[in-house]
């Protein structure tokens, strides 16, 4: 009787896990920014364990557990007809992108100020 409960629990666990693991968990939802589309690529890892034991005349016990890890691997960049894969690892493109943000923002601000100065001079 105890084995049936454990079997039902395992079947329930694996059927729910099957619903969770699908293509979208490896290839993320595309994000469009202007004309550029970014598609995250991730790794999904799972570990599952179960056990059952009998402790003398006091009864039985069973248990199960699992763990999961999801980590980014790369970003697929689609810009018009050009497709580029940017791998993500420690101290790689993600750090480079993060370091470029202030420079990009300052260039945008400089262009904005130049455009405003030209408009003022025209008046």
How many domains are there within the chain? 2
Both 16 and 46 in one domain: the answer is yes
Report pLDDT digits (tens) over 5-47: 767 777 777 777 666 666 555 788 898 888 889 998 888 777 7
Report for 4-18, 34-48, 79-93, 102-116: range of highest mean pLDDT = 34-48
Mean pLDDT across the chain: 73
Are 9 and 64 a contacting pair, CB within 8 Å? Answer: yes
d(CA 103, CA 123): 31
Helix (H) / strand (E) containing 62: strand 60-79
pLDDT-derived band at 100, boundaries 50, 70, 90: low
Contact predicate 88/37, CB 8 Å: no
pLDDT of residue 75: 86
Q: What sections of the chain are H helices per DSSP? A: 2-20, 93-122
Chain centre distance of CA 108: 29
- Structure confidence at residue 1 (pLDDT): 45
Which residue is associated with the tokens 């099957």? 18
Q: Within this chain, do residues 69 and 52 fall inside the same structural domain, yes or no?
A: yes
Confidence at residue 66, expressed as pLDDT on a 0 to 100 scale: 79
Domain that holds residue 94: 89-123
């Amino acid at each position: 009787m105890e084995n049936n409960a454990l079997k039902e629990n395992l079947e329930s666990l694996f059927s729910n896990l099957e619903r969770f693991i699908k293509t979208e968990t490896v290839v993320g939802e595309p994000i469009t920014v202007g004309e550029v589309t970014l598609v995250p690529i991730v790794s999904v890892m799972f570990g599952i364990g179960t056990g059952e034991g009998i402790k003398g005349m006091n009864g039985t016990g069973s248990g199960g557990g699992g763990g999961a890890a999801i980590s980014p691997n790369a970003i697929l960049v689609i810009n018009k007809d050009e497709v580029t894969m940017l791998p993500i690892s420690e101290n790689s493109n993600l750090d480079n992108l993060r370091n470029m943000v202030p420079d990009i923002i300052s260039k945008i601000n400089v262009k904005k100020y130049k455009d405003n100065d030209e408009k003022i001079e025209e008046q």
